[in-house]
Amino acid sequence: MAESTFTVVGMTCGHCVASVTEEVSAIAGVSDVAVDLPTGLVTVTSAQPLAEAEVRAAVEEAGYSLAG
């Protein structure tokens, strides 16, 4: 198992969290997504390490962006 942490910019409510969780969970191999709304931190547990581009695309599909 691999765990990666990303910072998402623009989330302001529970609906934001649900949207990001849904999109990131759809990435192949992802088994868990934990979102901390106040900090914007998204911790992703997956079978293999994830490419940042995959996570970035999923977050952008949800309508948000990764910091940095």
26-45 pLDDT tens trace: 999 999 999 999 999 999 99
Helices and strands (H, E) in the chain, number of each type: 2, 4
Nearest by Cα to 15 from 63, 65, 66, 53: 63
Total-model pTM: 0.94
Which residues lie across from 7 on neighbouring strands?
41
What is the CATH number that goes with domain 2-66?
Answer: 3.30.70.100
| Alpha-carbon gap, residue 12 to 10, rounded angstroms | 6
Q: Quote the pLDDT of residue 47.
A: 96
pLDDT band at 68 (very low <50, low <70, confident <90, very high): confident
**Kind of pairing, strands 30-36 and 2-9?**
unpaired
Q: Where are the domains of the chain?
A: 2-66
Evaluate the CA torsion angle 55, 59, 60, 64 in order and state its sign: negative
